[in-house]
Structure 1
Amino acid sequence: MRVVRFHELGGPEVLRLEEAEPGLPGSGEVRVRIAVIGLNRAEANFRLGRYIEQAKELPSSLGYEAAGVVEELGDGVTGFAVGDRVSILPTFSMNDYTVYAEQAVVPAAALVKLDEEVDFETGAAVWMAYLTAYGALVDIAGLGKGDTVLIPAASSSVGLAAIQIANQLGAVPIATTRTAAKKAALEQAGAAAVVATDEQDLVTEVLRLTDGKGATVVFDPVAGPGINELALLTARGGTLFVYGSLSGQPTPFPRAAVGRGIALRGYVVFEITAHPVRHAKGVEFVLAGLRDGWLKPAVDRTFPLERIVEAHAHLDANRHVGKVLVTVG
């Protein structure tokens, strides 16, 4: 089979398409023929050596999220059969399992069956984004009707998922983006308001939009020194989630968090996927959203596996709105 590997840390150009043996599923594992891969910022950071975990050895592969067909079951696997259409969810370390390949051996616990009406593109685009947003906004914060959520870098797949979930819960999503170029797309996605931070003063605009109170929840993937402003924009007693570090800069503890009684909380999706009960509730939430039609992952662009370097370059350029996908085969 073909597999994507990197032999050194670096930009998209370090990714290589190589030949490898598919491998046999062990106990509790399943081999899946991959149809579509969903790209994530976590994988770009893993490739760069800037992720929450480092590649233990090189060459290394990568990839958290994909959809395809079950080809072989390992010992002790129940609930799945050869030929099942499935999604692979982000429940594992990329030092243990990866999905950037024509075939992948993954834990059976990472699989969810796809309904016939759900295509592979949707199956590869939905889980990282919506489980990440669900975990923070629903499972932890208990976002509800009338609450306000501030969503920096809202054009990402997670940001767009957060907008949809907030609207479904009756909350008010305020999106931020650097320039007005993505404003129309974010409004079309359901943002109640969009602040272009290179062109507008973030603090002034958000306080105006929230009648001076700030947002009940702030859902930030950027971190860095901007956390000080976000703390000023978090309502008293509210929650400021930091679930990424796109800035690449040190993140100070904001003084405003003390005076405002803010919960400043680190968060990653594995907090949900590693806990069986919370994981099951999150999966059901997403499946219900797909069935009911309000959950609609936005796909920005799709590349073939042969153009994986170009796909990662597109991801790194940060011009996309929604998910970047790679088709296999």
Structure 2
Amino acid sequence: MVRTVRFHEHGGPEVLRLEDVAIGEPGSGEVLIRVDAIGINRAEALFRGGNYIEPVRRFPARLGAEAAGVVEAVGAGVGAGVTGIEAGRPVSVLPAFSMNDYGVYAERAIVPAAAVVERPDALGAVEGAAVWMPYLTAYGALLEVGGMRAGDTVVVTAASSSVGLAAIRVARHIGAVPLATTRTTAKKEALIEAGAAEVIVTAEEDVAGRLLDLTGGRGAEFVFDAVAGPGVVELAKAVAPGGTLFLYGALSGEVTPYPGFDLGMPALNLRTYTVTHETTADPERLRRAVAFVTAGLRTGAFAPVVDRVFGLEEIVEAHRYMEAGAQIGKIVVAVGGHR
């Protein structure tokens, strides 16, 4: 029996329960992981609350798609030593599966071998659980889909999130210019320190006007937006002709209009993006993404930013803290004393 976080109904953080659950053995193409740390993501709060893009298919339901730990057993069909997935190897679990099928909020978890990568020696468990979702998301949208290049400008909203901070570093790494937005001044200095060229405080400034000023009236080639809702109209005003406004989250919880007609039908590309559909589900894109992120970690260009670490028994508090939105970077849950 393994201590596992499950929920038996939709609701707030209080519906999460730590229960003893039988785990079994990994099947074909699967790996059994001793989980040492878990990366907490907004998608899990949405899934728990019944507001995610994928509905819960059955209760009790599990959570979690990002973790770090050690391989304990390998199922049939997994080539030992070929990808570093063999018993005793430290690994990270990538967000590459449905939480209806697998979940890593547990002391041990069975996951698809295709969702496991060998963890670099320099990364401990907490860091190994905090790095992949942010950098894979930013890389997949901005480079694989968008084709961002040196000299381009990218606007990063909700920039103090782990994905926002990763997007800033990815842009800097390739020579693009990251402009960050944040709701209040509380996180402005931290965003400048993280590499943002400029920070726009949305509660106090004319967002579109400031962005146009900063780009010499040209607008930004890319907007990487986690908020959605009515604010996309202002953001769209500052997109360069032919530029792309990516919607990868919906933190506002409000209806998102299509701004093209209200703005006079500019040459605007507006599209949604999810890392699980467009990056980790594609073996070739995932291979390139892992190589890109691993190289950045090796040189120090990339690094996980961990805001706070909770214990597994504090999972309700961890979700409450995430929903409060005060963090800068990643929230991680440590398992078995691996802090």
Query: Shift of the alpha carbon at 1:115?
Result: 2.2
Residue 265 of structure 2 is matched in structure 1 by 259
* 2:275 aligned with 1:269: yes
Query: Shift of the alpha carbon at 1:311?
Result: 0.5
- Percent pairwise identity: 58
* 2:102 aligned with 1:97: yes
Residue 312 of structure 2 is matched in structure 1 by 305
Moved more, 151-160 or 73-82: 73-82
Task: Give deviations 1:141-165, integer Å, cap 9, x for gaps.
Answer: 1111111000111010000000000
Moved more, 108-117 or 249-258: 249-258
Q: For 1:1-329, what aligned pairs fall within 5 Å after superposition? A: 1-78=2-79, 79=82, 80-255=85-260, 259-270=265-276, 271-329=278-336
Amino acid at match of 1:142: G
Query: Shift of the alpha carbon at 1:279?
Result: 0.8
The 2-side partners of 1:147 and 1:201 are apart by 22
Query: Shift of the alpha carbon at 1:117?
Result: 2.0
Query: Shift of the alpha carbon at 1:258?
Result: 6.3
Structure 1 runs (4+) greater than 6 angstroms displaced: none
Task: Give deviations 1:204-223, integer Å, cap 9, x for gaps.
Answer: 21111111111110001111
Amino acid at match of 1:315: M
Task: Give deviations 1:54-92, integer Å, cap 9, x for gaps.
Answer: 111111110010000000111111132110100000010
Query: Shift of the alpha carbon at 1:35?
Result: 0.2
Q: Which runs of 5+ in 1 are unaligned?
A: none
The 1-side partners of 2:288 and 2:14 are apart by 39
Moved more, 176-185 or 260-269: 260-269
The 1-side partners of 2:202 and 2:257 are apart by 20
Question: Helix, strand or coil for the counterpart of 2:333?
Answer: strand
Question: Helix, strand or coil for the counterpart of 1:68?
Answer: strand
Query: Shift of the alpha carbon at 1:181?
Result: 0.2
TM-score by length of 2: 0.95
Given that 2:39 and 2:331 are in contact with CA atoms closer than 8 Å, whether structure 1 keeps it comes out as: yes
Question: Helix, strand or coil for the counterpart of 2:142?
Answer: helix
TM-score by length of 1: 0.98
Moved more, 176-185 or 139-148: 139-148
CA-based RMSD of the aligned residues comes to: 1.0
Amino acid at match of 2:165: L
Given that 2:260 and 2:268 are in contact with CA atoms closer than 8 Å, whether structure 1 keeps it comes out as: no
Amino acid at match of 2:77: G
Amino acid at match of 2:310: F
Task: Give deviations 1:232-284, integer Å, cap 9, x for gaps.
Answer: 11111101101111111111111267632111111100211111111100010
Given that 1:3 and 1:102 are in contact with CA atoms closer than 8 Å, whether structure 2 keeps it comes out as: yes
Moved more, 226-235 or 103-112: 226-235
Given that 1:235 and 1:260 are in contact with CA atoms closer than 8 Å, whether structure 2 keeps it comes out as: no
Question: Helix, strand or coil for the counterpart of 1:100?
Answer: coil
Query: Shift of the alpha carbon at 1:231?
Result: 0.9
What is the number of equivalent residue pairs in this alignment? 329
The 1-side partners of 2:302 and 2:27 are apart by 34
Amino acid at match of 1:196: V
Q: Which runs of 5+ in 2 are unaligned?
A: none
Moved more, 186-195 or 250-259: 250-259
The 1-side partners of 2:28 and 2:260 are apart by 50
